[in-house]
Chain A
């Protein structure tokens, strides 16, 4: 008799608990989506198949999307997501695009007719201009999402890769090739010559 009572009580308690799990889960999902969104590159380019980084983050949090769909985030981004979610790393799904070196948009100002279509396309307000006036890209704000390229009726927007400067240059991963000493010496001589 006691045993049955205990079991019944347990079942009731678990039932109550289960009632609240989905609520809690929903909250967790929102928090998780925030955390995932913080790791995404915020280009809002839509290559992942969602209309922006936040929707993609939400989809990952819900388990609807995989972590390898963001080309601008690239391998590094997938590593970060994998670490956050405790999942295994996967290479980028090339269906969504390939990782490219960072580029910024450039408007050929002589050709621009001032239609403002590119301004409407830019998700991060990186273009200035007004109707029938020349438009230009604020390069330091441009995320390189390429969304402004297709709407331009006169095809005057091109993507220029960002050159490395002394300030943004990175030290290489140390690699030491094993070569005979003589060739090493001449190689460095040529370099310093």
Chain B
């Protein structure tokens, strides 16, 4: 049944160099070399947000033991990828272009690879929500809104690995098709998808054949392997959905809103491992290629340094940098000691000959090549001029955030402008501004609330005093008729109190005094009286 494919505009066809790393089978890291002295597992998620460590220095861990969980229930857990001793929980450099550090769990392997007890998970009995939580705790990145929208029309499995040099999904499907198919079956059942389309590029015939054979053996219904025309960047989830189903999901919406969902083959395989084998995500298949003698795919435990992976493949002498990801979208790493993480699918050794430094940027001649190559139907040269001039509002009007950073525009630009660098710059600026704006809005709200509270407290205090004054002395309540001026009322009350006290106090010991003394007292009293009355009327004198 030949399938009708849909097309997207643009895309490029760079030489794929895939044959280089598919000649050797996937190798287990442990089969090639012993584990390095320490494994570094970041407590940081790819999409931002950090995790809470469950272990501390000195804890003995087993392979597959959970060592970090999210602060809320959206964070995907991380696990010890081997058994050993936790050396430290400390700041280490991240596999991130910034070269910044984040908190990591550092494990010294004991070489015994002792697993936790692995028990399969009965997802049929557990239901959707519990399965999602289980996968989160097993460290499988499935996204927070996994299955949030009920039934799915189409489940797309992304086996279209369109970036040059990367072959990890290809090799996974060739060698472990059965596991992938089982993972897909689980996904299909859990997400209640009526149809499953496995998109694989037609330049990977072995993978297609292996998947078809595994499918025939398992007999999964309504599941098809679709050989899509090879073209970079079909491997982008949004574009693959478009090619297979014709649905264009806008940047701002979730796939599930359109009744589709997309998972990588490696995610399907990780789901199979987690649910059927009871094995959390502790390793992943990484393509090691570029400037190395024996490019191949290695199943690497998470946390091994990139350096150790490269060493297994014989890096050439002129290797001067390490790139995580492919030649189109990959990012140069700050050093080769950064660890393999869950999103590391490819490690490239770079050399000046293989990936020459970009030539100096020339002015944009508005040839429009980039617009023709853009798979997201954008106007890259407009975005570029706005980003360059820091007109971020304009750039957003031209849908900067629809850019998938595929690098097609940079690839075709005759002026060799590093366009994607400008978009990344503009995007991170805009996001930072949005963060600042949200922060300022929250601060304004708290400030206004504070003003409100101060006002309320003042009123409450005034009211309290007024009632107190009124209750203490009924007669003075009349004086305080203009009750708003409570201070006056208060003073009046105090005066009244004082007067009353004075009236009550009768000097007790004047009976025994002589008349002269009494006369003197009377005189003094009179003087005081006069003084007091004059103080009341006369303005106060400056001392």
B450, A123: Cβ atoms closer than 8 Å: yes
Question: Which stretch (B149-157, B180-188, B420-428) binds chain A?
Answer: B420-428
A169, B428: Cβ atoms closer than 8 Å: yes
B100, A176: Cβ atoms closer than 8 Å: no
Q: Of residues 33 to 83 in A, which have CB atoms within 8 Å of B's CB atoms?
A: 37, 40-44, 52-53, 76
**Interchain CA distance A169-B440 in the complex, whole Å:** 19
CB-based closest 4 A-B pairs: A174-B421, A42-B443, A169-B98, A170-B428
Write out the residue numbers on chain A whose beta carbons fall within 8 Å of the beta carbon of B321: 188-189, 191-192
Given contacts A164-B100, A171-B428, A184-B357, contact A141 B447 (CB under 8 A): no
B358, A165: Cβ atoms closer than 8 Å: no
Q: Does A85 contact B (CB under 8 A)?
A: no
Q: Of residues 433 to 478 in B, which have CB atoms within 8 Å of A's CB atoms?
A: 433, 435-436, 439-444, 446-447, 449-450
**Interchain CA distance A174-B420 in the complex, whole Å:** 10
Q: Does A181 contact B (CB under 8 A)?
A: yes
Given contacts A171-B424, A171-B428, contact A124 B100 (CB under 8 A): no
Q: Does A167 contact B (CB under 8 A)?
A: yes
Given contacts A124-B443, A171-B428, A191-B334, contact A166 B102 (CB under 8 A): yes
Q: Does B361 contact A (CB under 8 A)?
A: yes
**Interchain CA distance A181-B390 in the complex, whole Å:** 30
Q: Is the interface of A mostly helix, strand, loop or mixed?
A: loop
Write out the residue numbers on chain A whose beta carbons fall within 8 Å of the beta carbon of B439: 143
Q: Does B485 contact A (CB under 8 A)?
A: no
17 CB < 8 A contacts A-B: A41-B440, A76-B433, A124-B446, A165-B100, A166-B100, A167-B48, A167-B49, A167-B50, A169-B96, A169-B428, A170-B432, A171-B421, A174-B418, A174-B422, A188-B321, A192-B321, A192-B333
Q: Does B507 contact A (CB under 8 A)?
A: no
**Interchain CA distance A180-B333 in the complex, whole Å:** 23
* A178 touches which of B102, B360, B422 (Cβ 8 Å): B360
**Count the A-B residue pairs with Cβ separation under 8 angstroms: how many?**
96
**Interchain CA distance A165-B428 in the complex, whole Å:** 13
Name the residue on A nearest B349 (C-beta): A192
Q: Which of B352, B422, B441 has most chain A Cβ within 10 Å?
A: B352
* A123 touches which of B49, B442, B447 (Cβ 8 Å): B447
Q: Does A20 contact B (CB under 8 A)?
A: no
B357, A181: Cβ atoms closer than 8 Å: yes
The number of residues on chain A lying at the interface, defined by a beta carbon within 8 Å of a beta carbon of chain B, is: 36
Q: Does A2 contact B (CB under 8 A)?
A: no
User: What's the nearest-Cβ distance from chain B to residue A117, in Å?
Assistant: 16
User: What's the nearest-Cβ distance from chain A to residue B455, in Å?
Assistant: 14
A174, B425: Cβ atoms closer than 8 Å: yes
User: What's the nearest-Cβ distance from chain B to residue A73, in Å?
Assistant: 9
Given contacts A123-B447, A123-B450, contact A42 B320 (CB under 8 A): no
User: What's the nearest-Cβ distance from chain A to residue B409, in Å?
Assistant: 14
User: What's the nearest-Cβ distance from chain A to residue B349, in Å?
Assistant: 10
**Interchain CA distance A168-B360 in the complex, whole Å:** 29
**Interchain CA distance A125-B449 in the complex, whole Å:** 9
Given contacts A125-B449, A141-B446, A176-B361, contact A40 B440 (CB under 8 A): yes
- Residue ranges of A at the interface with B (Cβ–Cβ < 8 Å): 37, 40-44, 52-53, 76, 123-126, 141, 143, 164-174, 176, 178, 181, 184-185, 188-189, 191-193
Write out the residue numbers on chain A whose beta carbons fall within 8 Å of the beta carbon of B83: none
Name the residue on A nearest B432 (C-beta): A170
User: What's the nearest-Cβ distance from chain B to residue A138, in Å?
Assistant: 10
User: What's the nearest-Cβ distance from chain B to residue A82, in Å?
Assistant: 13
Write out the residue numbers on chain B whose beta carbons fall within 8 Å of the beta carbon of A166: 44, 48, 94, 96, 98, 100, 102
Name the residue on A nearest B335 (C-beta): A192
Besides A41-B440, A166-B44, A193-B335, 8 other A-B contacts (C-beta < 8 A): A41-B443, A42-B447, A124-B446, A143-B443, A166-B94, A171-B421, A189-B320, A191-B321
Write out the residue numbers on chain B whose beta carbons fall within 8 Å of the beta carbon of A171: 97, 421, 424-425, 427-429
Q: Which of B98, B335, B336, B418 has most chain A Cβ within 10 Å?
A: B98
User: What's the nearest-Cβ distance from chain A to residue B269, in Å?
Assistant: 28
User: What's the nearest-Cβ distance from chain A to residue B407, in Å?
Assistant: 14
User: What's the nearest-Cβ distance from chain A to residue B311, in Å?
Assistant: 14
Q: Of residues 318 to 343 in B, which have CB atoms within 8 Å of A's CB atoms?
A: 320-322, 333-336
A185, B352: Cβ atoms closer than 8 Å: yes
Write out the residue numbers on chain A whose beta carbons fall within 8 Å of the beta carbon of B358: 176
Q: Of residues 376 to 400 in B, which have CB atoms within 8 Å of A's CB atoms?
A: none
Given contacts A176-B360, A188-B321, contact A125 B450 (CB under 8 A): yes
**Interchain CA distance A143-B49 in the complex, whole Å:** 21
A42, B444: Cβ atoms closer than 8 Å: yes
User: What's the nearest-Cβ distance from chain A to residue B381, in Å?
Assistant: 15
**Interchain CA distance A170-B392 in the complex, whole Å:** 14
Bitwise, B79-101 to A at CB < 8 A (1) or not (0) is 00000000000000010111010
A188, B361: Cβ atoms closer than 8 Å: no
**Interchain CA distance A41-B439 in the complex, whole Å:** 8
A43, B443: Cβ atoms closer than 8 Å: yes
**Interchain CA distance A170-B449 in the complex, whole Å:** 32
Q: Of residues 42 to 80 in B, which have CB atoms within 8 Å of A's CB atoms?
A: 44, 48-50
Write out the residue numbers on chain B whose beta carbons fall within 8 Å of the beta carbon of A124: 443, 446-447, 450
**Interchain CA distance A124-B322 in the complex, whole Å:** 46
User: What's the nearest-Cβ distance from chain B to residue A21, in Å?
Assistant: 31
User: What's the nearest-Cβ distance from chain A to residue B290, in Å?
Assistant: 13
Q: Which of B335, B422, B447, B450 has most chain A Cβ within 10 Å?
A: B447
**Interchain CA distance A37-B360 in the complex, whole Å:** 43
User: What's the nearest-Cβ distance from chain A to residue B376, in Å?
Assistant: 19
Write out the residue numbers on chain A whose beta carbons fall within 8 Å of the beta carbon of B335: 191-193
User: What's the nearest-Cβ distance from chain B to residue A71, in Å?
Assistant: 15
A169, B357: Cβ atoms closer than 8 Å: no
**Interchain CA distance A164-B435 in the complex, whole Å:** 14
Write out the residue numbers on chain A whose beta carbons fall within 8 Å of the beta carbon of B100: 164-166, 169
Given contacts A42-B444, A124-B443, A168-B435, contact A185 B320 (CB under 8 A): yes
B320, A192: Cβ atoms closer than 8 Å: yes
Write out the residue numbers on chain B whose beta carbons fall within 8 Å of the beta carbon of A53: 444
